[in-house]
Amino acid sequence: MKNILRGLALLVAAVIVFGVFFIIGASLTQTLPRVLLYTTRLNQWEYATREQTAVYYADGSQMTTLGYQRIYQEDFPDFLKKSVVAVEDKRFYQHAGLDARGIGRAIWKNIRSGSKAEGGSTITQQLARTLFLNQQKTYGRKIKEVFYATALEEKYGKDAILNMYLNEIYMGRGGSGMGCAARTYFNKDIGSLNQGQICMLAGMIQAPEYYAPERNYQGLKERQETVIAVLEEQGVITEAEGEQIKGQPLNIQPYVPEGGRHPYLAVYIRNQVEDLLGTKGTYQAGLKIYTTIDRRMQEAAEKAVASQVKTLLARGINAHDMALVSIDPDTGSIKALVGGPDFLQNQLNMAILPRQPGSSIKPLYYAAALDEGIIDPEMTINNAPRDFGGNYVPRNHIANAPEQVSVRDALAKSENVASVEIMSMVGVETASSYIRKFGVTTLKPEDQHLALALGGMNDGISPLEMADAFAVFADGGEYHQYYSIEKIEDATGQIISKSNPDSWRVISDDTAATMDELLQGVVNYGTGSGARIAIKSAGKTGTTTDSRDLWYIGYTSELCTAVWSGNSSGAVVKGYDTFGGSVSAPVWRSYMNNLYYSGVFQQKVTTEVEEDTTLEEPAGDGPVDGEQATDTGGENETAPPLDAEPDTGQDKTNAPNSGAGADSDTATNTNSNTNTNSGTAGSVLPAENQSGSTGY
């Protein structure tokens, strides 16, 4: 009985709503359209093809554009016009912008389904939405759409409206308009398309991303045949002609992602805008996107990454991929972002994909222990190899490492056992809480074990999040959520989005100052000596098992930068001296020296360091790895110019990441020895699942 009453109620509601829209449609007299022409201000508006969405640097100069340039057409093939009208709005030439029957039918379907999935929009309404409104499926927007559509019909004839529609409709691959679609999909002028290609384009209007040929060719072909069937049904073509059209070759051109200037950065920004406004809004609206990117830093970063990868390969070091991210520690604004050396060779943006952090994670929980009052810089820590329980026996990177070491030297020389001891003292749960407060979003409950002290994680941390985390030390303990877009303006200059990043305190001012001092020690006499530059800096190195992930994260008072080197496939980095301090730290130094000697920084010289733009050849006569590295002197002497990660012991396993957030078929690490520990939080990681870091 209840179901019957509910059905009757829905029927009554549908009839009422249909009646309202029917009355509106029937009442569109000569007076109402004229009124709407003025109330919508279309009387002062003239159609003009809009520019691409433009992206700007922080200084206001234009960086790049997003999407393909519109190819404006004065006219279109007659068969294309008939096909689009037949499929999208068969009563186009009969209604005055609003098809009351179509809207009523759509509302009834929406009421029955409980959603707003059915549009019921005419070609004029679609054009109104494209030109003046957003893509949200709300009844409020639908009413505005009707008003604008009515005004458009009052001002323009049917041919002009259809021409605007065919020039503006979004067609996928970042392009708008049929002229652009013909060039993008077939590399032809619109007038050179065969009827099969035209039917394909007409069918794609409904859902261009869904019917993208590179992802859903079968669905696209079925949609094309649906268009042909509609044309036969409406008498536009005969059944015999339809069969002939089905057999015509499509010859779809492969999709090549746009390269252009700063491709990794451009794609990252595009994705940010699409998350805010949707794909159609990004490409159709002629937006102005004002970013936080510093042109000088971005160009220097790309130069450093590309040149240093070439240098590494020439030296026999097979690190094919590299990422660099710079953040303003005062605001969290991204100043430079490079996801790899060659976008055409590898589109994976390694700047935003999580990787195993190795010992670069150590400062985050050292800071926790300091902030909790558990340790101080001069406190002596037990550094003797031993079982921490569960057969977890981390080892140091040198055989004769001191059995007692100060906190200061433990961090500077990246002693493994002492670091695990500090993690044990502060507690895995407390340390994990701090790590999350540093902005790390990829730390999972199953990562909460003592091996986390050496970077053992399931997914890892992205260079972007790592740079933002270290910026806390440069800004007195305050975390600022990273962001890349200051504001977005629409084609009329109205601000439609403005950044409002979160910030919070992670550690006290005193703790931040102490950590800054300790991390300066890493550069002055520890594992990060390869990153020393003319101005005061601090940082930390990191190298994971088998040198799969090589890190250096460093900062000055003005800029915090993370550098990651390795292979996106997870392949072992082979070659001589493959450590974070000998591979990634010099990249950081080269980049920062370029900026310093270009006058970018205000900070003054504190030490004489020769300008450097290339990687130095490492000192020594033979290969050195994390287990063989030996110190050249006493524990307080300058560390050797290599960056060896301490060993986690003979039971260590590799824990490469799978690129969380990326497509699994493109970003998955090929190493099969992924850490699968699912122990309880705060537990010692079982020996068979020990993972992550060889130390520093």
3-state secondary structure of 563: strand
Q: Which residues are catalytic?
A: 88, 359
User: Is-contact 152 132, C-beta < 8 A?
Assistant: no
Cα 622 to Cα 149: distance, rounded to the nearest angstrom: 76
Q: How many CB atoms lie within 10 A of CB 209?
A: 13
DSSP per residue, 11-69 = HHHHHHHHHHHHHHHHT--SHHHHHHHHHTTGGG----PPPPEEEE-TTS-EEEEESPP
Instruction: Spell out the residues 6+ positions from residue 439 whose beta carbon is closer than 8 angstroms to its own.
Output: 465, 468, 469, 479, 481, 482
Taking alpha carbons only, the member of 474, 472, 476 closest to residue 439 is 472
**Token reading at 312:** 């590494």
- For 297-330, give one letter per residue: b (16+ CB within 10 A) or e: bbebbbebbebbbebbeebebebbbbbbbbbbbe
End-to-end CA distance of the chain: 72
**450 backbone dihedrals φ, ψ, rounded to 5°:** -65, -25
User: Is-contact 163 76, C-beta < 8 A?
Assistant: yes
Taking alpha carbons only, the member of 456, 611, 62, 521 closest to residue 290 is 62
Residue linked to tokens 């794909």:
279
Q: How many CB atoms lie within 10 A of CB 195?
A: 20
User: Is-contact 309 319, C-beta < 8 A?
Assistant: yes
CA R_g for the chain: 31
User: Is-contact 391 415, C-beta < 8 A?
Assistant: no
> According to DSSP H, which parts of 207-346 are helical?
213-233, 239-246, 263-277, 279-284, 295-314
Report CA dihedral (607, 564, 392, 521) to the nearest 10 degrees: 10
- The one-letter amino acid at 453: A
- The one-letter amino acid at 305: V
State how beta strands 62-66 and 549-555 pair: unpaired
